[in-house]
Structure 1
Amino acid sequence: MKQLLIAITILSAVNCFAQNDTLITKIPFEGMDMTWQNGSDRRTTPSVLTSKYFVGSIMIDANYTHSFNNPIDNTVVGSTALARNNEMQLSSANIGGEFNYEGARGKIMLQFGTRSTVVPRNDYSVYRGQYQLDNVYRYLSEAYAGYHFDKWYGINVDAGMFMSYIGLNSYYQVENWEYQASFTSDNTPWFFNGVRVQIFPTKHLKIEGWLINGWQSYAKFNSMPGIGGNVTWCPNEAVKLLTNDYYGTDAAGLKNRIRFHSDNSLLVRYYNQPKATGISRAAFSSTFDIGFESGDGVGGFNGNSQTPSQYFLSGMVYNRVWFNKNKMAWTIGGGYMTNPGRYLVLYPTGDASPLPNPNNPTQTAGTHPFSANPGDEFKGWDCSTNFDFMPNQSITFRVEFVHRKASVPYFAGSGGVTSPTGYTTTPLPDDWQPDLVKMENRLIFAVLFRI
């Protein structure tokens, strides 16, 4: 709380002393309405914290989720968006903004709430070496510095921690069509730590390159950094096409095991009558991913009994219809994932996997580890539907139903994944097992705020 109050004071001071006469040259995608896109800012007017040298942002994400499995410990398993069942939760509170001065640029977004624990806990690179990087970076969702070159429609060179585009969904739920992300998004990165170069050769095209520590990792698992990039093309405001591609070594101590991943999305707005009181807008988004790991005991798509296959195939499709001048919206969709070897599967929380394996931090240890051996099967299916009420651009009230299913016991059952009583202070009997089941249904109620 102390850090949050200090951040608010600093941002208020910056905004009060800045002037409002920003000189803007060429801007990529200028004049194009992109507020309808899944994973994008839906505000139609600038933030009220906009000034000459600073554009501020405050976001609050509060939710209540009910699992029909009703686990005794209230723990949510297999999600980066949710943490606790049957409780009012502050999932994320973000405050920060973007600074610019004569080409110099920087951005910092602080994060508080359950996501400041849920997301860092999935990075096992922090167990290499010291300094507790998961705590050092815990309260940062974005933080980078760089320089803007006034060439074409702009060239940006940034270093620090920045958002990933792999999986389409935004890290910030206020920008997404659905609250609980499909397996495709929830099992791919939310952030990268390293250097990026953004090039806008035309108004409609962005080309971006990355040199990063690894696949959603604060540190590096091996000596080789991760490399990759993004290409985004919007031929007009009703179509968005993008691809993300990544190559790296992200298995601890296995320097010859390489990972490749390709993520591809198409978004189309096929109806647009923004002043209509009935249906005012309609669009769909689709994302398809393919990837693999190969080397040091695994064989990508061509595995055998000695070197099992280890790959990732997934897809998700959503359709969204807006009503009443875009103040209400209904979304329906879902997806599928198969990931032999489980190298991208979110490990179940609780005592089922409390710590990484000290001999291989990409796998779990503890009293009841979740197996992630080469070739271990994991398939997941999900579907969801929700209704949004958006009286203005700064607030969204959402109710969502989610159905998820896995090919192996994975979600928290009624017995929970912590202990017989649900409390971490309860000693574990020798015959106790985490209660993992293959299916869950849940209701989510969320309030999403942004200025």
Structure 2
Amino acid sequence: MKKVILVFALATKAVCAIAQDTTSVTEKIPFDGIDQTWQNGSDRREYSVFQDMKFFTPSILMDVNYTHSFNKPNDNTVVGSTALARNNEVQLSALHFGGDFYYKGARARVMTQFGTRSIVVPRNDVSPYRGQYQLANVYRYLSEAYVGYHINKWYGINIDGGMFMSYIGLNSYYQPENWEYQASFTSDNTPWFFNGVRVQIYPTKNLKIEPWIINGWQSYGKFNKMPGLGFNITWMPDNSNLKLLTNDYYGTDAGGLPDRKRFHSDNSLLVRYFNRPKSKGISRMAFSLTADVGFEKGGGVNGFKNDSVKGPAQYFASAMFYNRIWFNNNKFAWTVGGGVMTNPGRYLVLYPTGQASPLPNPNNPTQTEGAYPFSANPGDKFKGWDMSTNFDYMPNQSITFRFELVNRHSDVPYFAGEGGVTSQTGYSTTPLDPNWRPDLVKSETRFILAALFRL
């Protein structure tokens, strides 16, 4: 699951602009003076180079990567990941540009989305099957787009509507903000975005309370009549060494099954336990711990307990831990960590060969997409674990060069093997051998080289 923190440097700029326009009001800034540049899932920049612009603060992010799987799939396709799409090729994974607008309390944010992520992430949302107008294509090239209003009460209240980032799973959707590149199962199998309305309430400088009313669990549309309901609570003390947050969600996210209810709770602790930013040796150390638990109940499944009448157990339990050490005035960093996940019913597992449906997937129409679906029936078991380590070189606040080694396992065939998931030759234009099937295996090891830019 995933986590995107507000870019508080930009928010501060927005608040200052509002204060200039209202003149009679002194604005209080949430989390003012609290250093968040060390936090996993946060903007590591000390400031924006565009901070002197009055009504608009631009933002540009790029993610270029090369990854190699030692399974060597013949079609170069990466499965089971929202961060990667192609093996053995240099890929533009993401290009985002846009920014924040503000004028006398009115606010808006627009961020575009190009590159392989504009294909990989919409592929995991099957809500466009309900109705017409191909919602996956309508929203595909936007990562964020919302409009709202700022109320100068306490430390601020923001009311926003549109598409905004998820707060579940700790990691940010934007790779320059994360400690690791390939997210652990906990993060990668939970939402990156929401469509709906949120209210950000800052009753004190150190606390944010944020309720949501949304279409559903990382969905452009609604699966049933009921909207998704949830909230985020984030707290950080003045000493900048701790962050606590919880994200909780309730909705009906199984298409055509309104009686099946989903609950999910995501909880994270971040601790900076060493901080000497000017040191030529170790300059700071920190860890992040995330634990998730959730279930689906009704409509033929029964949460945490198998029942002969109500159905098999269908739940999600996971955790991930990462430790990061910075060196030489924070110009270098080493991260090591990993996680575990169990998900009976597979309702949150990323499908490696398309959705669990005999119908072709309009979000990714190839001859094999949907033809050999990954089973996600009630009672289907899935357990996975992963570990990774990486080394970062960060010559300045806008660029990160990363080398990462990742090992992932599952208890069922899941990752792309040597035979790939496209055809016997690896090309989608090849007539299929009737005996061919996608080659899925239980483990993969890969290395990733990435250049991550943010301005």
Shorter-chain TM band: over 0.9
Alignment TM-score, normalising by the size of structure 2: 0.92
Judged with a 3 Å threshold, the aligned counterparts in structure 2 of structure 1 residues 201 and 365 are, in CA distance, closer, same or farther, namely: same
- Give the alignment partner of residue 232 of structure 1, picking from 234, 241, 264: 234
Kept in 2: contact 1:275–1:325 (CA 8 A) = yes
SS of corresponding position for 1:275: coil
- Give the alignment partner of residue 339 of structure 1, picking from 329, 338, 343: 343
Matched, 1:221 2:191: no
Kept in 1: contact 2:164–2:195 (CA 8 A) = yes
- Give the alignment partner of residue 94 of structure 2, picking from 92, 95, 98: 92
Q: CA deviation at 1:359?
A: 12
Matched, 1:419 2:423: yes
Aligned residue pairs: how many? 429
Q: CA deviation at 1:45?
A: 1.6
**Where do 1:290-329 residues align within 5 Å?**
290-306=293-309, 307-329=311-333
User: Residue 353 of structure 1 aligns with which residue?
Assistant: 354
Kept in 2: contact 1:47–1:55 (CA 8 A) = no
- Give the alignment partner of residue 260 of structure 1, picking from 258, 263, 269: 263
Matched, 1:273 2:276: yes
SS of corresponding position for 1:116: helix
SS of corresponding position for 2:237: strand
Structure-2 separation of matches of 1:345 and 1:370 = 10
User: Residue 175 of structure 1 aligns with which residue?
Assistant: 177
Structure-2 separation of matches of 1:20 and 1:250 = 41
- Unmatched 5+ residue regions in structure 1? 1-17
Kept in 2: contact 1:50–1:56 (CA 8 A) = no
Q: Provide Cα deviations, 1:274-296, integer angstroms capped at 9, x if missing partner.
A: 00000000000000000000001
User: Residue 438 of structure 2 aligns with which residue?
Assistant: 434
Structure-1 separation of matches of 2:266 and 2:216 = 16
Q: Provide Cα deviations, 1:365-403, integer angstroms capped at 9, x if missing partner.
A: 833111000010000100000000000000000000000
**Where do 1:77-88 residues align within 5 Å?**
77-88=79-90
Structure-2 separation of matches of 1:309 and 1:355 = 19
Judged with a 3 Å threshold, the aligned counterparts in structure 2 of structure 1 residues 435 and 296 are, in CA distance, closer, same or farther, namely: same
Aligned letter for 2:38? Answer: W
Kept in 2: contact 1:244–1:264 (CA 8 A) = yes
SS of corresponding position for 1:346: coil
User: Residue 145 of structure 2 aligns with which residue?
Assistant: 143
Structure-1 separation of matches of 2:27 and 2:172 = 27
Kept in 1: contact 2:18–2:103 (CA 8 A) = no
User: Residue 366 of structure 1 aligns with which residue?
Assistant: 370
SS of corresponding position for 1:136: helix
Q: Which moved more, 1:237-246 or 1:41-50?
A: 41-50
Kept in 2: contact 1:61–1:447 (CA 8 A) = yes
User: Residue 443 of structure 1 aligns with which residue?
Assistant: 447
Kept in 1: contact 2:96–2:113 (CA 8 A) = yes
Structure-2 separation of matches of 1:447 and 1:49 = 24
**Where do 1:5-44 residues align within 5 Å?**
25-44=27-46
Aligned letter for 1:426? Answer: T
User: Residue 414 of structure 2 aligns with which residue?
Assistant: 410
Structure-1 separation of matches of 2:359 and 2:255 = 10
Alignment TM-score, normalising by the size of structure 1: 0.92
Structure-2 separation of matches of 1:100 and 1:336 = 42
User: Residue 66 of structure 1 aligns with which residue?
Assistant: 68
Q: Provide Cα deviations, 1:204-255, integer angstroms capped at 9, x if missing partner.
A: 0000000000000000000000000000000231100000000000001100
Kept in 2: contact 1:21–1:52 (CA 8 A) = no
Structure-1 separation of matches of 2:228 and 2:406 = 34
- Give the alignment partner of residue 129 of structure 1, picking from 113, 131, 147: 131
Aligned letter for 2:394? Answer: M
Judged with a 3 Å threshold, the aligned counterparts in structure 2 of structure 1 residues 104 and 20 are, in CA distance, closer, same or farther, namely: closer
Kept in 1: contact 2:355–2:361 (CA 8 A) = no
Judged with a 3 Å threshold, the aligned counterparts in structure 2 of structure 1 residues 232 and 20 are, in CA distance, closer, same or farther, namely: closer
Q: Provide Cα deviations, 1:98-118, integer angstroms capped at 9, x if missing partner.
A: 000000000000010000010
Q: Provide Cα deviations, 1:32-72, integer angstroms capped at 9, x if missing partner.
A: 11100000000012233651111110000000000000100
Structure-2 separation of matches of 1:131 and 1:347 = 24
Q: Which moved more, 1:231-240 or 1:383-392?
A: 231-240
User: Residue 12 of structure 1 aligns with which residue?
Assistant: none
Kept in 2: contact 1:75–1:84 (CA 8 A) = yes
User: Residue 156 of structure 2 aligns with which residue?
Assistant: 154
Q: CA deviation at 1:429?
A: 1.2
Judged with a 3 Å threshold, the aligned counterparts in structure 2 of structure 1 residues 360 and 42 are, in CA distance, closer, same or farther, namely: closer
Structure-2 separation of matches of 1:360 and 1:78 = 16
Judged with a 3 Å threshold, the aligned counterparts in structure 2 of structure 1 residues 358 and 434 are, in CA distance, closer, same or farther, namely: closer
Structure-1 separation of matches of 2:439 and 2:412 = 12
Q: CA deviation at 1:357?
A: 4.2
Q: CA deviation at 1:303?
A: 1.9
Matched, 1:400 2:404: yes
Structure-1 separation of matches of 2:228 and 2:64 = 34
Kept in 1: contact 2:359–2:370 (CA 8 A) = no
Q: Provide Cα deviations, 1:76-113, integer angstroms capped at 9, x if missing partner.
A: 01000000000000000000000000000000000100
Aligned letter for 2:437? Answer: Q
User: Residue 283 of structure 1 aligns with which residue?
Assistant: 286
Kept in 2: contact 1:413–1:437 (CA 8 A) = yes
Structure-2 separation of matches of 1:72 and 1:232 = 45
SS of corresponding position for 2:42: coil
Matched, 1:46 2:32: no
SS of corresponding position for 1:220: coil
User: Residue 205 of structure 1 aligns with which residue?
Assistant: 207
SS of corresponding position for 1:59: strand
SS of corresponding position for 2:159: strand
Q: CA deviation at 1:353?
A: 2.9
Structure-2 separation of matches of 1:404 and 1:50 = 45
Q: CA deviation at 1:119?
A: 0.3
